[in-house]
Amino acid sequence: MRQWSVRIAAALTAVMGAINLLSATTPPLHRRVAVIAAWSPLEVRHGSAIAAAVSGFALLLLARSLWRRKHAAWLVTELVLLVSAVSHVLKGLDLEEAAVATGLALFLLAIAPEFHARSDAPSVQRALWVVAGSLVFNLAYGVTGFYLLDRHYSVDFGFWAAVRQTVVMFTQFYDPGLEPVTQFGRWFADSIYIVSVLTTGYALAMLVRPVLVRERATPGERLLTRGIVEAHGRSSLARLTLMDDKSYYFGPGGTLVAFVVKARVGLALGDPIGPLDQIGPAIAGFGAHCARNDWRPAFYQTMPDHLALYREAGLETLCIGHEAIVDLASFTLEGQARKALRGAVNRLTRLGFSARLHEPPLDDGLMRQLEQVSDEWLALRRGGEKRFSLGWFDEDYIRESRVMTVETAHGAITAFSNLMPEYQLNEITTDLMRHRARIQNGTMDFLFAELFRWAKGCGYATFNLGLCALAGVGRDPKDPVAERALGFIFEHVNQFYDFKGLHAFKSKFHPIWSPRYLVYPGPASLPAVAVALILADSGTAVLWRREKARPPRVGPEAESRREERAAS
C-alpha cells in the first residue's frame, strides 16, 4: 500500500501539471474576472497565468522524480503546488484548480516519510550556487541594461524600475508593460528569459540528480573487503571484486556487495559474498541502499544458487550465458574426441614451444614482455581494455598474479594467461588470455592444455574458463521472451562480438556448462541496466588513460606486497 501511495501521488502530480497547462491557456470566466479585477492589477493576473503554465511544466518534470521517491522532488513539488494554488486564484479565481493543488499538497505532506531517496549533495549545492549566481548576474545585467538602454523601450526606466523589471522577468518569465521599440531591445529582454529558463532547468535537474560515487573505496574498506572475499569467495568473479573500479556495500552478518554505479543503476558483480545464511538479507540490504541513493539495483553474472532469494526480494532473473568449467579429473588428451587438441600440442612441442608458470611477484623484465604481448593483442581487437567483469593489464594486478606463458624455442613469449583464485572453491580460473599479432596455429590450445595439466597436478578439481555470453540461452520455446531475444542475437548478430567463436574455442575442451544470470528490478529497467553494463564494461576507458600515468591500486594485497618488497 505504501508503494501505491507514492505512485498515486506521482500520477496526481502529473495530472495537476496538465491541469495547470490547460488552465493557463484557457480564458477565465468573465464574472470571476470582474471580481478579481477590483483588487488585482492586470499585470498580476497576466503574470499569474504564466506562473501557472511554468508550474505545470515543473510538475510534469517532478512527477517522475516523485515516482523514484526523491526527497528533493517532494520539497520542490510542495513549493510548486503552493505557487500553483496562489496563481490559480490570482489568474481568475480558479478555485477548483486551487483546491486540487492544495489537496494534493496536503496528501504529499501526509506521506512525506515515503520520499526518502537522496539527491547528490554536491550537485544540489552546485544548483543553489548557480541559481544565486545567475540571479546576481541577471540583476546586474538587467538593471544596467534597462537603466542605460531605456531609449530602446517605450518606458523611461529609473534605477528601481529597472530592478523591479529584471526581478519580475527573471522569476515570472513575464514582462509587465515592457514595450521594446528596437530589435536590440527585444533581443536584450529575450536574453534575460533565456538565462532564467536555462538556470531553472539546470537547477531542477541537479536537485533530483542521483547520488554519484566520487570517491574510491578507502584502504580500510579494501582491507575489510579482502578479508570477506578470502573467507567466503566462491566464484570465478571473487578476485575481481577487489579491483580498483569497485565500490562496496557492507551488509549484515559480514557480507559485502561489490558494485559500480552507471546510468542510475547500482550494478553488482556477481552474488553477495559472505556467510550463505546472510545472502538474503544482503540482497535486501543492497536494494534498500540503492533506493536511498536513487539507483536501480542489479546483479550481473549471478550463479543459480540464490535465484529464489532474488525473487523474494522482488527482482527478476534472466539467463545471459553459461560458464565453461573443465572437470580436471576426467581431462585428457587421449581419445578420438581430443585428436585435434592433441595434434596442436604435439606439433608445437616438436617446434620447440614450451609453457612456463611464473609465480608472483613477477620481475620487471617479464612484465615488459607481457605488456608488449598485451598491447599487440589490444591492437588486433581495435579497442581498449574492458573492465568490471574482467581484469585489465594493470601492472600491480598482473605482477601479483600467477601467469603461464607460451615461449618459442628462442625464449620469446608469444602468449600468456593470468590465473585467479576462487578462495573457498577447489577451482581456479583464468582472466586475461592474450597473444601476439602473429602466432603459430594452435598456440592458445597449447596454452590451455598446459594450464589444465598444471592445475590437475596441483590438486584442483575444476578449471573455470569464464562466461560464454548468450551461449545456450533461449533455446526452449517456453523460455522468457527476453531470453529468446538473446538467443537470436547469439545466432544472428556476430559482427560486433564473436560470441560463436568464443563458444567454439571453449567447447573443444568439453566443459560442464553452468548458467549465469542477470538480476534486475523489472522489464522497464532493462534498457537502463543494459546501458549500465556497457558503461561499466568500457565507459571508464577515458578514466583509465587519464590515470595510467600514476600507478593504480587494485587492492590491499598489492599494497602490502609492495611495502614488503620496499622493506626488504
Give a yes or no: residue 192 inside a domain: yes
Give a yes or no: residue 239 inside a domain: no
b/e for 407-445, b at 16 or more Cβ within 10 A?
bbeeeebbbbbbbbbbbebebbbbbbbbbbeebbebbbb
Residues 69 and 152 in one domain: no
Q: What is the mean pLDDT of residues 384-407?
A: 93
State how far Cα 128 lies from the chain centre.
Answer: 25
pTM (2 decimals)?
0.79
Give a yes or no: residue 95 inside a domain: yes
Residues 105 and 10 in one domain: yes
Residues 413 and 390 in one domain: yes
Residues 110 and 140 in one domain: no
Q: Which of 209, 236, 264 is the last residue of a domain?
A: 209
Give a yes or no: residue 216 inside a domain: no
Give a yes or no: residue 256 inside a domain: no
502-537 pLDDT, tens digit per residue, is: 888 999 999 999 999 999 999 999 999 999 999 998
Residues 97 and 164 in one domain: no
Band (50; pLDDT cuts 50, 70, 90): low
Distance CA 553, CA 388 (A): 15
Which phi and psi (to 5°) does residue 415 adopt? -160, 160
pLDDT at 406 over 70: yes
| H or E stretch covering 546 | helix 541-547
Band (280; pLDDT cuts 50, 70, 90): very high
Q: Which of 142, 177, 209 is the last residue of a domain?
A: 209
pLDDT at 253: 92
Q: What is the mean pLDDT of residues 80-97?
A: 68
Please give the residue range of the domain that contains residue 175. Answer: 127-209
Q: Which of 142, 175, 209 is the last residue of a domain?
A: 209
pLDDT at 173 over 60: no
444-492 pLDDT, tens digit per residue, is: 999 999 999 999 999 999 999 999 988 888 888 888 888 888 887 777 6
pLDDT at 171 over 80: no
Residues 142 and 166 in one domain: yes
- Domain harbouring 147, CATH code: 1.10.287
Residues 12 and 95 in one domain: yes
DSSP state of 335: S
Give a yes or no: residue 468 inside a domain: no
Domains: count for the chain = 3
Residues 413 and 373 in one domain: yes
Residues 80 and 177 in one domain: no
33-45 pLDDT, tens digit per residue, is: 344 344 333 333 3
Give a yes or no: residue 65 inside a domain: yes
Residues 83 and 166 in one domain: no
535-565 pLDDT, tens digit per residue, is: 998 754 434 333 443 333 444 444 444 433 3
Q: What is the mean pLDDT of residues 321-347?
A: 92
- Domain harbouring 396, CATH code: 3.40.630.30
Residue 351 in 3-state DSSP? coil
Residues 446 and 365 in one domain: yes
Distance CA 45, CA 49 (A): 6
CA dihedral 282, 284, 285, 289 (to 10 degrees): 130
pLDDT at 31 over 60: no
* Residue 70 bridge partners (DSSP): 117
Residues 143 and 86 in one domain: no
Q: Name the percent of the chain lying above pLDDT 90.
A: 46
Give a yes or no: residue 379 inside a domain: yes
